[in-house]
Chains A and B, each alone.
Chain A
Amino acid sequence: MKHLLTVVTFLPLGGAVALMLVDRGREALLRGAALAIAVATFLISLPLYFGFDAGSADYQFEIVARWMPSLGVGYHVGIDGISLWLVLLTTFLTPIALASAWHAVEDRGKEFLITLLTLETGMIGVFVSLDLFLFYVFWEAMLIPMYFIIGVWGGANRIYAAIKFVLYTMVGSVLMLLAILALYYQHGAMTGVYTFDLPTLARWVMPPDRAQSLMFLAFALAFAIKVPLFPLHTWLPDAHVEAPTAGSIILAGVLLKMGTYGFLRFCLPLFPDASLAFGPWIFALAVIGIVYGAWVSTVQPDIKKLVAYSSVSHLGFVMLGIFTLNVQGLVGGLIQMVNHGVSTGALFLMVGMLYERRHTRLIADFGGLWTVIPAFSALFLVVTLSSVGLPGLNGFVGEFLVLLGAFRVNAWLAAAAATGIIFAAVYLLWMYQRVIFGELTQEANRHLRDLSPREWALVVPLIVFIVWIGVYPAAFTGPTEASIEALIAQVESKASVALRAPDGGRVAVSRP
C-alpha cells in the first residue's frame, strides 16, 4: 500500500475529529470508538513490520509529496530500522493507554479520548518525518495534547507540572528551530539547494567548524531535555507524578524516546564531527544519569516517583548506548528504548491500578498485598524483574548490549554504569518487597480486588513482549542492524572526509 505511513499517522487524528461529532453523553460509544480507532491503527501499522526489508538500510514505505516548494519544504515520510520499532511501540501502547483510562477518567472523558488520539498522530509523525520542517511541526504540535493531558486530568499539582513540562521543552525546541534554520541556510549557501529534506541534508558533509558544534548543541539540548539527560531531568518527576496513568504510559513509553530517537536520526548523521567531539561528555552525563537516577529512586516514598526516576536511569543506558557509536551499543540502545517503553509503561500501568484501588501511591501505605491480590502480585513481579534486567526478560538484552558496547569505549565508565543495574535491583526489588511482601499492615488493603478481565487484557500483551524480547531478541534486533550499521558508516565516513579536506571540509562532498 503506497500511502500506508500516511494512513497510520493520520488515522488517529481523523478518528479524533470524528469523535468530536459524537454527543458527549454517549460515553460507552465514545470509549469504544476511540479504542477501535487505536486498535485499528495498531493493526494497520503491522504491515510495516511484515513488509519491512530487514536487509536494507534505506528508508522504506517512503512517501514524498510537495508541500511548500518555494521554501524547500516537502511532505517526506518513511521508516528505517531505527524508527520501525518506535512507530510500532507508539501504535501498540496507545490502545493500552486508552483502555487503562476506562474508568480512571470520568471527567470530560470525550475530550480525553480526543486529546490522546491527537497525541498519537503527533508522536507517529515525529518518528516518520524525514523533512526537518515536518518533523518540527509534529514535535511542537505534540506538546499541546500532552500539556492538556497532564494539566486537565492530572493530580493535585498538575498545572505546575504541565507548565513546567511545556516551558522546558519549548526552550529546547526553539533553539533547535534556530539550528534547523541555520542548517538550512548554510546548506543552501554552500550547495545552492535550499531544502529541509533530511536525507539530502544528511548526505552533505558539513565543515567541522564552530557552526556545526553550535547546531549540534542546539539539537542536543532539545533532545536531551526530552530524554531527559542529567541534569535536565527535573521536569520529569513532576510530569510523571501529576500525569494520569494513561499520560504516564505515553510519556514514559513514547515521548521520552523522541529525545533519544532525535539523537540517532538527526544529531549523529547531520553533525558527525560534533557528535564525536561532544560524545564523551554525553557519555559521561549518561553514566551520571544512570547512577544518579538509581540512587534517587531508592529513597522515593512514592512508587510513581520511583518509577519516574528509574526512567532517568534507564534512559541513561539508551544514551550511553548511542554514544558508544559502535554496533552493539547502538543496537542495545535502540532495543533498550523499546524495552523501556514496554517495561516502564507496564510499571506505570500497574501502579495506576494500585492507585485506582487505594487512591494512594505511597509505598508505606501498602505491604502484604500478595495474599490479597495474588494475580496482580505475580504480574507485577514479572514487570518489575523486567525493569531490573533479569536475564530471560527484555531489560537484560538491551542493558547487556549497551554495556558490551560501552566497555569497548571506556571500561571504567562502563563499570560505573553497570552499578546502575545493581542499584536497579536494589530500588525495584526493595520497593516490590515493601509493597507486596511482608505483613498486611493496613486494614484498607484487606479487601482489594484482584485484576479484572480488562486489566488482564492490558497487562498480558505487555508481558508477552517482555518475555519475547528477552528470549528471542534477534526478532527485534534483526531489522535494526542494517540501519544502525549504515548510520555508523555514515558518521565515520563523513567525519573522516571532513578531516581529510585540506580547507576544513569547505568543499561539499556529495556521497551516494
Chain B
Amino acid sequence: MTPVPVALGPLAAVLVVAGTGMLVLLLDLLPPRESKTHLGTLALAGLCAALLVTLLRWGSGGRAFRDMIVLDHHAMFFQIVIAYAAALVVLLSMDYLRRVGAETGEYYALVLFSTSGMLLLASAGDLIVVFLGIELMSLSLYVLAGLFRRDLESTEAAMKYFLLGAFASAFLLYGIALVYGTTGTTNFDRIAGAVAVRPHDPLLLVGLGLILVGFGFKISAVPFHMWAPDVYQGAPTSVTALIATGSKAAMLAVTIRLVVSVFRGSQPDWGALLWVLAVLTMTVGNVVALAQSNLKRMLAYSSIAHVGYMLVGIVAGGIPGAAAVLFYVFAYVFTTIGTFGVITLCERDGREAVEVGDYAGLGRRSPLLALVLSLFLLSLVGIPPLAGFVGKFYVFGSAVRAGYLWLALIAVLNSALAAYYYLRVIVYMYMREPEAEAARYTPSFAGVLALTVSLAGIVLLGLAPGPFIDLAQVAVTPLLR
C-alpha cells in the first residue's frame, strides 16, 4: 500500500502544545534545578505559539484523518479561548507554585498535555477523538489536582476527580459503543445522517443520552456535579482555574457541536431534557453557593451556575443561541481566571487566603487588588459594562428570541440571586474589618500580568463586544450548514 499523505495542518496547534510539553519534560532533567521559571516561560511561549498558529489559520480551516479532525471556525474559536486560558494559567502558576513550594517541571508539562487534549477536543469530528481528547485532558488534570502530595485535601481532590472522571468515561464509552452499534460509525457527520434517517431508534437515543451524561460530568452540570466542589476546593488554585475554564470550554465545544449539529434530527426533542438540565444546573449551583464560606468552593458552585446559563443558550439553539454561548464562554474564561488569579496572589498567616473571611479589610490593605477582584466579581454578577453582562444579555436574549420565556425568567431570577453571594465577598473586602491580620498581597509580576490581561479582556468584551459577537456568529455558522 502506498502511504497516504497525511495533512497535519489542522492539528498544528495541538502538535505545538504537545511538542512543547515534551520539550519541557526533557529540559526538566537539565540544570538549573532550583528554579523552574524557564520552563514556565517555555510553556507560555508554546501556548502563545499555538494561539498564533490558530489565529493565522482563521479563515482557512481544514479536515484531517478522514474527518476525524474538523478544524472549522467553531473549533478555532474554542482553541483561541483555550490557548488564552492555558496561557493565563501558566502565568498565574509561576510565582504561585514557588511560593507554595510545589514548583516542578512536570507541572508545566502536564498543563501543556492537558491543554493539547482540550485543543484536540475542540476540533474533534469523531467520537473516538472525543474520547482521546477527554482522556488526554483529564488524566493530566487528575495528576495536577493532586499536586500538593502532602496536603490531604489536594489528594482527596485528585482521588475523587479520578474516580468520578473514570466513572463518567465509562458512561461515555458505553454511549459511544451503543451509537457505533446502531449506526456503524463514530463520525459526527455520519451519525447525524443516521439520526436523521432513524430519529426514533431507541438504542441510538440511549447511546446519545449516555454520551450526554458523560459530557454532563465533565462540564459539571447538575445532577452530575458532585465532584466539582471538592475538586475545586482541594486542587491547587491555578489548577482549579484551568479546570474551571479550559476543560469546561473544551467540553462545551464538543457539547455544542454534538447537540447543535448531530442531535438536530433526533426525536423526541432533546430541548426538553436540556431545559430541565439548565434549570437544575443554574438553580442548584446558585442556591448552594449562597451557603459557602470557602471562596474556592463558592466559585465551584458559581461555575456550575454559569454552566447552567450556557445551557440556556444551547437550549435556545440556532445561530444566535450557539453564538451566545461562545461569547459567554469567552467572557467567562477571562472573568474566572481573573477571580482565581486574585486568590493566588493573596495569603494570610502564611497560607493561601481561601475563606471569605480572609478577605475582610482587603479594600483597605490592598485597594487596587480589592478593586480588581470586585470588578471580576461584578462581571460574574453580570453588572454592565463588564463582559459578564453582555454574555448574559446575549444568552438570555437568544432564549427570549427562541420563545423560551420561562427559561429566561428562571435564568434572570437566578442571576439576581447570585448577586448576593458575589456581593458578600465585596462586603467583606470593603465593609468589614479583619479579626486579626488582613489578607496580604504577595507580589508577582507574572500574576499581575495575567490579571491585567484578564481585566482588559472583561472590559473590552463589555464595552466593545460587537466584533466578538460577530466572531462568535461566524464561528457557529459551519455547525448549522
Interface on A for B, CB 8 Å cutoff? 67-71, 108, 111, 133, 136-137, 140-141, 143-144, 147-148, 151-152, 158-159, 162-163, 166-167, 170-171, 174-175, 177-178, 181-182, 184-185
A71 touches B364 (CB 8 A): no
Q: Please, which residues of chain B bring their CB within 8 A of the CB of A140?
A: 383-384, 389
Q: Knowing A71-B469, A136-B384 are in contact, say whether A175-B412 is a contact too (CB < 8 A).
A: yes
Q: Please, which residues of chain A bring their CB within 8 A of the CB of B409?
A: 175, 178
Q: How far is the CB of A144 from chain B (nearest CB, A)?
A: 6
Q: Knowing A140-B383, A143-B383, A181-B397 are in contact, say whether A174-B465 is a contact too (CB < 8 A).
A: no
* Interface 0/1 of B413-426, CB less than 8 Å to A: 10110011001000
Q: How far is the CB of A142 from chain B (nearest CB, A)?
A: 10
Residue among B416, B469, B470 facing the most chain A CB atoms (10 A cut-off): B416
Asked if B400 CB lies within 8 Å of chain A CBs, one says yes
Asked if B32 CB lies within 8 Å of chain A CBs, one says no
Please report which residues of chain B, range 374-427, place their CB below 8 angstroms from some CB of chain A when the two chains form the complex.
378, 383-385, 389, 393, 396-397, 400-401, 405, 408-409, 412-413, 415-416, 419-420, 423, 427
A152 touches B430 (CB 8 A): yes
Asked if B31 CB lies within 8 Å of chain A CBs, one says no
Interface size class of chain B, counting residues whose CB lies under 8 Å from the partner chain: 20 to 34
Q: Please, which residues of chain A bring their CB within 8 A of the CB of B465?
A: 68
Q: Knowing A71-B469, A181-B408 are in contact, say whether A141-B385 is a contact too (CB < 8 A).
A: yes
Nearest neighbor of B381 in chain A, beta-carbon distance = A170
Q: Knowing A144-B378, A144-B383 are in contact, say whether A174-B416 is a contact too (CB < 8 A).
A: yes
Nearest neighbor of A66 in chain B, beta-carbon distance = B466
Asked if B223 CB lies within 8 Å of chain A CBs, one says no
B469 touches A70 (CB 8 A): yes
Nearest neighbor of B431 in chain A, beta-carbon distance = A151
Q: How far is the CB of B388 from chain A (nearest CB, A)?
A: 11
Q: Knowing A140-B383, A159-B431 are in contact, say whether A185-B413 is a contact too (CB < 8 A).
A: no
B470 touches A70 (CB 8 A): yes
Q: How far is the CB of B84 from chain A (nearest CB, A)?
A: 22
> What are 10 A-to-B residue pairs whose CB atoms are below 8 Å?
A69-B466, A70-B473, A108-B363, A137-B385, A140-B383, A162-B427, A174-B412, A175-B409, A181-B396, A185-B397
A181 touches B400 (CB 8 A): yes
A137 touches B384 (CB 8 A): yes
Q: Which of A69, A70, A136, A163 contacts B427, CB < 8 Å?
A: A163
CA distance A182 to B398 in the complex (A): 10
5 cross-chain pairs, A with B, having the tightest CB-CB distances, nearest first: A174-B412, A137-B384, A68-B466, A181-B400, A170-B416
Q: Please, which residues of chain B bring their CB within 8 A of the CB of A136?
A: 384
A167 touches B412 (CB 8 A): no
Q: Please, which residues of chain B bring their CB within 8 A of the CB of A170?
A: 416, 419
B423 touches A147 (CB 8 A): yes
Q: Which of A67, A181, A185 contacts B466, CB < 8 Å?
A: A67
Q: Is the interface of A mostly helix, strand, loop or mixed?
A: helix
Asked if B443 CB lies within 8 Å of chain A CBs, one says no
Q: Please, which residues of chain A bring their CB within 8 A of the CB of B397?
A: 181, 184-185
CA distance A181 to B423 in the complex (A): 26
Q: Is the interface of B mostly helix, strand, loop or mixed?
A: helix
Q: Please, which residues of chain B bring their CB within 8 A of the CB of A181?
A: 393, 396-397, 400-401, 408
CA distance A169 to B415 in the complex (A): 13
Nearest neighbor of A67 in chain B, beta-carbon distance = B466
A167 touches B466 (CB 8 A): no
Q: Knowing A71-B466, A152-B430, A163-B427 are in contact, say whether A141-B412 is a contact too (CB < 8 A).
A: no
CA distance A111 to B363 in the complex (A): 10
* Interface 0/1 of B455-481, CB less than 8 Å to A: 000000000011001100100000000
Q: Please, which residues of chain A bring their CB within 8 A of the CB of B363?
A: 108, 111, 152
Q: How far is the CB of A63 from chain B (nearest CB, A)?
A: 17
Q: How far is the CB of A165 from chain B (nearest CB, A)?
A: 11
Asked if B59 CB lies within 8 Å of chain A CBs, one says no
Q: Please, which residues of chain A bring their CB within 8 A of the CB of B367?
A: 111
Given contacts A166-B423, A174-B413, A181-B397, list 14 more A-B pairs with CB under 8 A. A70-B469, A70-B473, A108-B363, A137-B384, A141-B384, A144-B383, A151-B430, A151-B431, A152-B430, A152-B431, A171-B413, A178-B400, A178-B405, A178-B408
Nearest neighbor of B393 in chain A, beta-carbon distance = A177
CA distance A151 to B409 in the complex (A): 29
Q: Please, which residues of chain B bring their CB within 8 A of the CB of A133?
A: 393
CA distance A69 to B464 in the complex (A): 11
Q: Please, which residues of chain B bring their CB within 8 A of the CB of A152?
A: 363, 430-431
Q: How far is the CB of A171 from chain B (nearest CB, A)?
A: 5
Q: Please, which residues of chain A bring their CB within 8 A of the CB of B469?
A: 68, 70-71
CA distance A167 to B396 in the complex (A): 20
Q: Which of B393, B412, B420 contacts A163, CB < 8 Å?
A: B420
Q: Please, which residues of chain B bring their CB within 8 A of the CB of A68?
A: 465-466, 469
Q: How far is the CB of A439 from chain B (nearest CB, A)?
A: 41
Residue among B383, B415, B473 facing the most chain A CB atoms (10 A cut-off): B383
B427 touches A159 (CB 8 A): yes
Q: Please, which residues of chain B bring their CB within 8 A of the CB of A166?
A: 419, 423
Nearest neighbor of A139 in chain B, beta-carbon distance = B384
Nearest neighbor of B397 in chain A, beta-carbon distance = A181
Residue among B364, B420, B431 facing the most chain A CB atoms (10 A cut-off): B431
CA distance A177 to B395 in the complex (A): 12
Q: Please, which residues of chain A bring their CB within 8 A of the CB of B420?
A: 163, 167
CA distance A147 to B419 in the complex (A): 12
CA distance A170 to B405 in the complex (A): 19
Q: Please, which residues of chain B bring their CB within 8 A of the CB of A141?
A: 383-385
Nearest neighbor of B470 in chain A, beta-carbon distance = A70
Please report which residues of chain B, range 340-384, place their CB below 8 angstroms from some CB of chain A when the two chains form the complex.
363-364, 367, 378, 383-384
Q: Knowing A68-B465, A68-B469, A140-B389 are in contact, say whether A182-B405 is a contact too (CB < 8 A).
A: yes
A70 touches B430 (CB 8 A): no
A178 touches B412 (CB 8 A): yes
Q: Please, which residues of chain B bring their CB within 8 A of the CB of A70?
A: 466, 469-470, 473
Q: How far is the CB of A183 from chain B (nearest CB, A)?
A: 10
CA distance A43 to B420 in the complex (A): 39
Q: How far is the CB of B364 from chain A (nearest CB, A)?
A: 7
CA distance A293 to B177 in the complex (A): 69
Nearest neighbor of A111 in chain B, beta-carbon distance = B367
CA distance A151 to B364 in the complex (A): 14
Q: Please, which residues of chain B bring their CB within 8 A of the CB of A185?
A: 397, 400-401
Q: Which of B364, B416, B419 contacts A108, CB < 8 Å?
A: B364
